[in-house]
Amino acid sequence: MSVPGHVKHDAGNILKSVFGYTSFRDNQEDVITAIMSGKDVFAAMPTGGGKSLCYQIPGLLFDGLTVIISPLIALMKDQVDDAIAKGIPAAFLNSTLTKEEISGVYALLHENHIKLLYLSPERLALQGYIEKLKRFNVAFFAIDEAHCLSEWGHDFRPDYLFLSNIRDQFPDVPMAAFTATATQKVQDDIIRILNLRKPFTVRASFDRKELQYQVRPKTAVLSQISAFIKNHPGESGIVYRISRKDVEKTAAHLQTRGIKALHYHAGLTKGERSKNQELFNNDEADVIVATTAFGMGIHKNNIRYVVHGDLPKSMEGYYQETGRAGRDGLDSVCVMFFGPGDIARQQYFIDQIEDPREQAKCKNNLHSLVRFSTVNVCRRKYILEYFGQTHDGHCGNCDVCNDTTEKVEATVDARKVLSAIARTSEGFGINHIIDIVWGADTEKIRSRNHHELKTFGIGNDKSKKWWRGIINELIGQQAVYQDSDRYNVLCMTEHGRDILYGKMDFFISETASVKEPDSPSVKDTVDKGGCSDKILFKLLKEKRTQIAHENRVPPYIIFSDKTLKDMSLLKPENAEEFLGVSGVGEKKLEVYGPLFLPLIKAHLESGPS
């Protein structure tokens, strides 16, 4: 099937008239052209990279129905509301609808009044459902979050495997698989399971230049998290914790500090989760605290920061979770608090896994994350190389490249600790080794004659807290590990022996204590270029919130922060100028132009800001 000559022209017209953009992002036009030519597609594109536009534009161009498979029921309503706000006939079918609402959707489908239909894989797997779809002239299938197909993906879902039946039932219908995170192994799995035929393959850059990456030593994590958020007042953010208990404890701590925070995990009822997410989406709560293991349907595009209070479970998961910040393209920050306790905690859970293959996979994931957190290498370079993309290592937007950490040599102190570990035959835990180095008079030390060791009391000029910090750094840099099979006794690695025997120096990282490392805020991003109008931007946001509440949709469905920023820069005074704002299409001009233009006019008439 060849591409008609007018397709690219029509796609460009839709891009402007419906979505309000004058040019495609990287890879978008190529993906759309391939789909319109009837080819299958595999596209790995970062969160915020414009994946949805790659299937929405073909959905409008095809003479038939486009079916989008998405695993996130909580996200479908937002996606459909967003499409309808742009004038796109869209609907979803999932378990949240009443029988009457479902009947209404089918009536519209029978009348060919819907172009985009969002379905969950569970619904598609219902007996006879694929046969039912054949009544509606399906022209194209888009599989979103396609990494869920692969057991090597960070969010494998067995229900997705049913999608392998689509090709047999719709042999002539093009299919496109989209994912924000996929290694080569995951990519191969997706193509094989979906039986994509010689797919047009895109691996877009995974470089999210607007995201600033930071890793900080974990000390008093609750206080650290609340202090960070206090530095970002009025901005939306997500805090990830590893357990439900930690999620609830963190949310409660933030609330006592006057921060509007809510919690979100799989232990809550469906109603509680929906309510908390809706409050967050509607900007009625600034922070959502969630488990990393529980997938959040987040379409909110004005998230300014993502905080990890614990080590995530995989690099794919970390990338996906941090990718929820800055979807509007404005600068955002991703900070992780990391300590050796994270390693021991995850190692404990890994040791409980009976399947050797799964255990090995989890160990590799842990190793990758520990290296990311401890090695003095550009964070962005490490992330991109994990996904098979090269980077020169000077991103200028991470803590390593920005020198917000200081390296302090601590080779002598490291050797004191390592010597104590060696002289006790690698048979004791953290507290006992600290007691030896510090020179504590304990029964355990006396009964084992450890007070006679050459290292006993060699570090009594410094606090126990200092020595615990040295051990934590040795564990973090994989010079020492805790043997979970022997009650977490400290053992040396080859790297540790190199330090002990003088073959290698040892440095510890100290976060610069003079001030908080510079973190971009929405205020900073709005002011870039010195041409924006802060008062107008604030007025536009207030108007957006008012309209969103009246229409019972999240504010970002009306306009993104990026669109409001552009509006505050351009200050449109008529319909033509309003249409020139990035993100304003003809439908949004028609609906929102009469509401925003008078506000801008009144502001201009009030004099300079």
- Higher-confidence residue of 521 and 181: namely 181
Confidence of residue 404 (pLDDT cuts 50, 70, 90): low
Q: How far apart are CA 391 and CA 304, in angstroms?
A: 25
- Higher-confidence residue of 292 and 53: namely 53
Q: Check: CB of residue 447 under 8 Å from CB of residue 456.
A: no
Looking only at Cα atoms, what is the longest distance across the chain? 89
Confidence of residue 434 (pLDDT cuts 50, 70, 90): very high
Cα-based angle 46, 52, 55 (whole degrees, multiple of 5): 120
The percentage of residues in the chain with a pLDDT greater than 70, rounded to a whole number, is: 92
Give the fold, CATH level 3, of 529-605: DNA polymerase; domain 1 (1.10.150)
> Is-same-fold flag (7-203; 211-404)?
yes
Q: Check: CB of residue 173 under 8 Å from CB of residue 282.
A: no
Q: Please report the beta strands in 78-199, taking only residues with DSSP state E, as ranges in sequence order.
A: 90-93, 116-119, 138-143, 175-179
Q: How far apart are CA 360 and CA 366, in angstroms?
A: 10
Q: Which residues of 355-378 are buried (b: 16+ CB within 10 A; e: fewer)?
A: eeeeeebbeebbebbbebbbeeeb
Answer whether CATH 3.20.20.140 is correct for domain 408-511: no
Q: Facing residues of 69 across strands?
A: 119, 143
Mind listing the pLDDT tens digit for each residue in 175-230? 999 988 777 888 999 999 999 999 999 988 889 999 999 999 888 899 999 999 99
Which of 336, 325, 327 shows the shortest CA–CA distance to 374?
336
Mind listing the pLDDT tens digit for each residue in 50-67? 889 999 999 999 999 999
Confidence of residue 13 (pLDDT cuts 50, 70, 90): very high
Average pLDDT over residues 107-128: 90
Confidence of residue 363 (pLDDT cuts 50, 70, 90): confident
Q: State the pLDDT at residue 522.
A: 46
Average pLDDT over residues 300-316: 92
Q: State the pLDDT at residue 517.
A: 44
User: Roughly how many angstroms between the first and final C-alpha of the chain, as a whole number?
Assistant: 57
Q: State the pLDDT at residue 301.
A: 85
Give the fold, CATH level 3, of 7-203: Rossmann fold (3.40.50)
Q: State the pLDDT at residue 296.
A: 57
Mean pLDDT score across all residues of the chain: 87
Mind listing the pLDDT tens digit for each residue in 498-514? 999 999 998 886 643 33
Q: Which of 33-37, 290-294, 432-436 has the weakest average pLDDT?
A: 290-294
Query: What 8-state DSSP symbol labels residue 362?
Result: H
Q: State the pLDDT at residue 157.
A: 76
Provide the residue ranges of all domains of the chain, joining segments of one domain with +. Answer: 7-203, 211-404, 408-511, 529-605
Confidence of residue 123 (pLDDT cuts 50, 70, 90): confident
Whether the per-residue pLDDT at 49 is higher than 70: the answer is: yes
Confidence of residue 525 (pLDDT cuts 50, 70, 90): very low
Q: State the pLDDT at residue 519.
A: 53
Confidence of residue 153 (pLDDT cuts 50, 70, 90): low
Whether the per-residue pLDDT at 477 is higher than 90: the answer is: no
- Higher-confidence residue of 485 and 332: namely 332
Q: State the pLDDT at residue 606.
A: 83
Compute CA distances 102 → 99, 125, 132, 139, 310, whole Å: 5, 17, 14, 22, 41
Phi, psi of 294 (to 5 degrees): -105, 120
Q: State the pLDDT at residue 509.
A: 66
Give the pairing type, strands 480-483 and 489-492: antiparallel
Q: Check: CB of residue 313 under 8 Å from CB of residue 154.
A: yes
Q: In this structure, what token pair is assigned to residue 461?
A: 């000029």
Confidence of residue 516 (pLDDT cuts 50, 70, 90): very low
Average pLDDT over residues 127-142: 91
Confidence of residue 527 (pLDDT cuts 50, 70, 90): very low
Q: Which CATH number describes the domain made up of 211-404? A: 3.40.50.300
The percentage of residues in the chain with a pLDDT greater than 90, rounded to a whole number, is: 56
- Higher-confidence residue of 30 and 49: namely 30
Mind listing the pLDDT tens digit for each residue in 101-112? 999 999 999 999
321 Cβ contact partners less than 8 Å away, ≥ 6 residues apart: 238, 240, 292, 306, 308, 312
